[in-house]
Structure 1
Amino acid sequence: MTIQDGDTIKIDYTGTLDDGSVFDCSADHDQPLEFTVGAGQVIPGFEEAVRGMEQGEEKQFRIEPSEAYGEYDESLAQQVPKNILRSDMQIEEGMMLLVKTPDGQEIPARVTRIGDEEITLDMNHPLAGKALNFSIKVVDA
Structure 2
Amino acid sequence: MKDLKIGEGTQVTLHFALLLEDGQPVDSTFERDPARLVIGDGNLPEGFEACIHGLQAGERKTFTVPPEKAFGQHNPSNIQMLSRSDFANIDELQVGMILGFTDKAGGELPGVIAEVDERQVKVDFNHPLAGRTLTFEVEILDVAPVSVQ
TM-score with structure 2 setting the length: 0.86
For residues 34-53 of structure 1, the C-alpha deviation after alignment (integer angstroms, 9 at most, x for no partner) is 11112332111111111111
Alignment-derived partner of residue 120 in structure 1: 122
Q: Displacement, 1:54?
A: 0.9
Task: Quote how far apart the aligned CAs of 1:100 are.
Answer: 2.2
* CA–CA separation in structure 1 for the residues paired with 2:123 and 2:107: 16
- Distance across 2 between alignment mates of 1:45 and 1:105: 24
Identify the match of residue 21 of structure 2 among 18, 21, 30.
18
Structure 2 unmatched runs, 5+: 144-149
1:5 is aligned to 8
Q: 1:84 to 1:35 in 2, by over 3 A?
A: same
After TM superposition, list the pairs within 5 Å mapping 1:57-76 onto structure 2: 57-76=59-78
Q: How does 1:1-141 map to 2 (within 5 A)?
A: 1=3, 2-27=5-30, 30-141=32-143
TM-score by length of 1: 0.91
What secondary structure is seen at the aligned counterpart in 1 of 2:30? helix
Label 1:14 to 1:102 Cα distance change in 2 as closer, same or farther (>3 A). closer
- Retained in 2: the 8 A contact 1:6–1:39? no
CA distance in structure 2 between the aligned counterparts of 1:95 and 1:101, rounded to whole angstroms: 18
- SS in structure 2 of the partner of residue 27 of structure 1: coil
Instruction: Report the CA distance between 1:65 and its aligned residue.
Output: 1.1
Change (3 A) 1:35 1:115: same
Residue segments in structure 1 that go unaligned for 5+ positions in a row = none
Q: Offset at 1:121?
A: 0.5
